[in-house]
Amino acid sequence: MYGVIAYLNSETEQKIDDLRNGLEKEGIKGHGMRPHVTLGTHPDLEIESFKSSFQEYFKDISTVPLFFPSLAIFLKSGTLYAAPTKNSVLTDFHQRYHEQFKNDINQQSLYIPAHWVPHCTLVMDLTQDDLVKAFDYFSRNLEPFHAKIDSVALIQLTYEADVCTDVKDILTVELKKDDVN
């Protein structure tokens, strides 16, 4: 399985990592991946051809500004996330990606445009009790914040018995910086 994820600017990543470390000091650990917003999943790819198309597609795409005013959970998942405002810039960024790579995308995925809930996972796989504690911690310590998507990555995920056991970055493309964002 492959995924395409949008990494956030380094200041935002550091802020989220610092908060995760604070939560860990309170005895709750439930994260692993670098902070990001997932754009899509691909069940299988002809990897060399896809990498070339991926790089070519993203080379002229500009950074995407985000505003995260919300904290939420995915039901029955033990996942707590920060949710950006789903504005036209973000929606267009996501939609254009899906149009460009529609032949390679998992059409049953929760990341297709009709089902997509843009989010940055803060912690996941928590018990109900730890989820409540994590929600309390983040609601006290996380202020609404601005961020930018400044790069996108193609990753490979390895699963064993429906559990992700490994994530490997295959290719990361920096987005174009411009004065508007």
pLDDT averages per 10-residue partition of the chain, 181 residues = 95 97 92 89 90 95 97 93 96 96 84 94 94 97 97 91 83 85 46
Q: For residue 34, what is the domain's CATH number?
A: 3.90.1140.10
In a domain, 78, yes or no: no
Residue 60: domain span? 2-67+85-115+142-174
In a domain, 146, yes or no: yes
- The closest of 3, 84, 89 to 39, measured between CA atoms, is 3
Task: Indicate the number of domains in the chain.
Answer: 1
In a domain, 75, yes or no: no
pLDDT given at position 179: 58
Predicted TM-score (pTM) of this structure: 0.91
In a domain, 72, yes or no: no
Q: How far apart are alpha carbons 29 and 50 in whole angstroms?
A: 35
